[in-house]
Amino acid sequence: MKRIVKLIIILSVFASVCNAQIIETVEEYKTLYDSIVPCLKLAEKEADNCINKPFSEFLKLVDKYGAKGIEVQMIYDLQKQYPQEVFGLRVHFITMQARDFAVKHRLFIPYTVIYFEESKPFEKALGLTQKYRGHFTKEVEEFYSDATIKSIEFISLKDSAIRNTNKNE
């Protein structure tokens, strides 16, 4: 009986963690945004220390302040046909569902744009993107971990998730 109770508790915790970013209201999104942005602002202050270093150093930096990359998008030349190369990443700290909610409600979305000194192989990157549907897994992390960072830009680290709709400002 104790094992069943422990199993139920473990499964409940796992389910709550997996669904932690299901956003249904603007208030829920603001709470999520407000929990992530201060971590990224702290990491941003030290981000220059990651330039000319492996991508894994950036991951250590954001982890140090409590932020975790959840999803990634490859940055590549959309005009080029073949051979294509991946020369950067957008690292998102919220789920696709939360991003979709933010777009629908015109809210800020915190993420980073990282460019690499040299490109990564497109076919392998595309395969990982398709396999994991953009989720930032251990295998994806390992693939990009040795990429040398050329530049880092933190996007939408505002004091509020709400966009100012006043046209005069």
Q: Examine residue 70 and state whether it is found in any structural domain, yes or no.
A: yes
One-letter identity of residue 162: I
**pLDDT block averages, 10 residues each, the chain of length 169:** 46 41 91 95 96 97 94 82 82 94 94 94 91 93 96 90 59
Q: Examine residue 61 and state whether it is found in any structural domain, yes or no.
A: yes
The confidence score (pLDDT) of residue 20 equals 54
Instruction: Say how many Å lie between the first and final Cα of the chain, rounded.
Output: 62
Q: Compute the distance between CA of residue 129 and CA of residue 33 in angstroms, rounded to an integer.
A: 25
Q: Examine residue 30 and state whether it is found in any structural domain, yes or no.
A: no
**Domain range enclosing 124:** 37-155
Rg (CA), the chain: 18
Number of domains in the chain: 1
Residue listed under structure tokens 């295998």 = 139
Whether the model pTM is above 0.85: no
Q: Compute the distance between CA of residue 105 and CA of residue 40 in angstroms, rounded to an integer.
A: 22
| Distances 31 to 24, 27, 49 between C-alpha atoms, Å | 12, 6, 29
